[in-house]
Amino acid sequence: MPKLSRRSRILLILGGIVLVALIAGSRFVDWLWFGEVGYRQVFTTQLASRAGLGVAAAVFLGGVLALNLWLAFRNRPVFVPVSGPDDPLARYRTVATERSRLFGLGVPIVVGVIGGLAAQADWQTLQLFLNSVPFGQVDPEFGKDVSFYTFELPFWRFLLSWGFIAVTVSFIGALITHYIFGGIRLAGRSGQLSMPARVQLAVLAGLFVLLKAVDYFLDRYDLLLSSRNPLFTGASYTDLNAVMPAKLILMCIAVFCAIAFFAVIFLKNLQIPALATVLLVLSSVVVGAVWPALMEQFSVRPNANQREAQSIERNLAATKAAFNIGEANVQFVDYPGRTQLQPSDVAADKGTIPNIRLLDPNVLAPTFTQLTQQYNFYGFTDKLDVDRYRDANSNLRDYLVALREINTDGLAVNQQNWINRHTVYTHGNGFVAAPADRVDSTFKEGATQGGYPVFQISDVANNGQGAIPVKQPRVYYGELVGRNDYAIVGGNAGEAPREYDTDQQQYTYTGAGGVPVGNLFQRMVFAANYGERNFLFSGAIGDNSKIIYERNPRDRVQKVAPWLKLDGDPYPAVVDGKIKWHDAEQLPVLGADRAR
């Protein structure tokens, strides 16, 4: 192997230092952000979980591989016949012998690091397992608390998958090592296999099959989450009466097959484990696939009402338990079903008729943009949202609502520079609403051509005092902001305001959000994180400056609460005069109201 020159080694070391510094800087930026929103414990827990899981997986995977490489090397044949002067393995054998420590430690370390980096991504599985709590509800098949399927089963699956990976990688490593050092020779019609190579490879194969037996055992629990029947989720008749017994049968065959492989330690004949493997493969096809398919086709489908009755009953019971719908919580009222109403009845229905929605939030975004956008650097989302507010008569009505958000991608070409994008055009302007049950008329003074929404705007121009008052109409967070789009607000004491507010005035941010970026160290960190030298040289960044990033409401919640399944369409709402972001479950978007 050619040696690296001194210059190449120095460049490699410097490159590694730079890479580590960039990764550490990125983590430091996250640490600052979590501190700004008050959830730094989430970051430290996540970081510790990733590190612990990655190190454990790396040590396990690398250690198992190193042990098998050492065993294969230690039990190599003393005399290895050479096929000729051009034996291709002789050169590799010499290099591997001279650098046995490099290969014996270097290869497992590299494989372990790769495995650790892959395993750390499953840190949530570990945290769910460590923080599992009982649900107080057991499944009707195995009698286990339902929390087992949410918290524990995924973790056991995770451990099993890495067991498979460790055994497979070790088998390949041992196979290559034995082949290079002559434990496996392909000369002749059938080749030759030394006793140490045969034992080691057979034991690894037996461990693999034994892990497969554990896999069959855990498969039984997965059946309760089956989607075989499209009408419900859960174990169907075929799953319970064909697949589940098949899993138990295959588990027993897999154990027998593993014992057959372990028997090679005492027996020289490989026919027994070979026959056991064939039996396992055939059984998995016939018992595990063909038999359930035949039962489903000829027994279940022709008699689905009878066969699936128990499964459907269990599904209904589980659904009612999940939503806490019991007979004690439900009141049944007979509905007479009147279909013929008089005009007076319709007019008297003040709860429904006045709230019939005339405006469609899915198609009116271009109308909002055309009539209320104001400038190219403002914008609305493609789909508007619906909320309920009280009108001037204190009646609760549906409103189409949207924020006039900042959209720096809409800046003109001559406006597209770093100063404008990040220090001038920093925030949106106002809350725009329109009653969903009405349109304007050409007969009214000040109306448009007719048929358009009746806009009610609370923005900087009217100091937020529209029909739906807003104490602070400036919007620093929104769905139109790019993932890497940040705003630098504040500045040096005594300087004139810099942020665009209206054509006649500028504004200086006074909210509680944002990470201080006034000192040189943090400016260097953000300069490296975003690859932007202006952090170091721009005069717009002063001692009192802050940087606001991670501005999309949904991303903010996902970051501080990664265990939640979020609604795909958060919406803005005015609560006590403040603009706050919510999802469909009315969960406040953490930290998104800190721009006040």
**421 and 404 in one domain?**
yes
pLDDT bin (cut points 50, 70, 90) of residue 4 is low
**514 and 368 in one domain?**
yes
Q: Which of 324, 342, 368 is the last residue of a domain?
A: 324
pLDDT at position 366 over 90:
yes
The answer to whether the beta carbons of residues 548 and 513 sit under 8 Å apart is yes
pLDDT bin (cut points 50, 70, 90) of residue 33 is very high
Summarize the confidence of residues 453-482 as an average pLDDT: 92
Does 332 fall in a domain?
A: no
What's the pLDDT score for residue 12? Answer: 65
Determine the residue type at 139.
D
Higher-confidence residue of 584 and 379: namely 379
Strand partners, 398: 388
**377 and 302 in one domain?**
no
pLDDT at position 2 over 80:
no
Range of the domain at 284: 194-324
Say which residue the tokens 């924020």 belong to. 403
Q: Across the chain, what does the average pLDDT equal?
A: 86
Summarize the confidence of residues 362-388 as an average pLDDT: 93
**284 and 385 in one domain?**
no
Does 478 fall in a domain?
A: yes
What's the pLDDT score for residue 439? Answer: 87
User: CA-CA distance, 181 to 79, in Å (whole number)?
Assistant: 9
Q: Which of 190, 220, 248 is the last residue of a domain?
A: 190
Which DSSP category does 79 fall into?
A: S
Does 352 fall in a domain?
A: no
Residue 547: count of CB within 10 angstroms of its CB: 24
What's the pLDDT score for residue 140? Answer: 92
pLDDT at position 596 over 50:
no
User: CA-CA distance, 262 to 126, in Å (whole number)?
Assistant: 33
Does 411 fall in a domain?
A: yes
The answer to whether the beta carbons of residues 545 and 518 sit under 8 Å apart is yes
Residues 6+ apart with CB under 8 A from 110: none
The answer to whether the beta carbons of residues 444 and 422 sit under 8 Å apart is no
**247 and 210 in one domain?**
yes
pTM of the entire structure? 0.82
pLDDT at position 492 over 90:
no
DSSP letter string over 499-515?
Answer: EE-SSS-EE---SS-SE
What's the pLDDT score for residue 588? Answer: 40
What's the pLDDT score for residue 570? Answer: 84
What's the pLDDT score for residue 357? Answer: 86
Does 395 fall in a domain?
A: yes
Closest among 193, 183, 172 to 75, alpha carbons compared: 183
Does 527 fall in a domain?
A: yes
The answer to whether the beta carbons of residues 410 and 327 sit under 8 Å apart is no
Residue 318: count of CB within 10 angstroms of its CB: 18
Count of CA atoms in the C-beta half-sphere (13 A) of 509: 28
Does 334 fall in a domain?
A: no
**226 and 270 in one domain?**
yes
The answer to whether the beta carbons of residues 372 and 458 sit under 8 Å apart is no
Our count of domains for the chain comes to: 3
Q: Which of 165, 190, 215 is the last residue of a domain?
A: 190
The answer to whether the beta carbons of residues 557 and 477 sit under 8 Å apart is no
**523 and 560 in one domain?**
yes
pLDDT bin (cut points 50, 70, 90) of residue 566 is confident
Count of CA atoms in the C-beta half-sphere (13 A) of 220: 18
User: CA-CA distance, 87 to 79, in Å (whole number)?
Assistant: 15
What's the pLDDT score for residue 215? Answer: 96
Q: What is the rounded (10 degree) CA torsion for 440, 442, 447, 451?
A: 30
Determine the residue type at 372.
T
pLDDT at position 591 over 50:
no
Summarize the confidence of residues 513-517 as an average pLDDT: 92
pLDDT bin (cut points 50, 70, 90) of residue 443 is low
Task: Return the minimum-mean-pLDDT range out of 86-95, 216-225, 408-417, 428-437.
Answer: 86-95
pLDDT bin (cut points 50, 70, 90) of residue 543 is confident
**297 and 167 in one domain?**
no
pLDDT bin (cut points 50, 70, 90) of residue 594 is very low
What's the pLDDT score for residue 24? Answer: 77
Does 5 fall in a domain?
A: no
What's the pLDDT score for residue 445? Answer: 59
Determine the residue type at 62.
G
**411 and 552 in one domain?**
yes
**575 and 433 in one domain?**
yes
What's the pLDDT score for residue 80? Answer: 62
pLDDT at position 92 over 80:
no
**265 and 161 in one domain?**
no
Percent above pLDDT 90 for the chain: 53
Summarize the confidence of residues 281-289 as an average pLDDT: 91
**159 and 215 in one domain?**
no
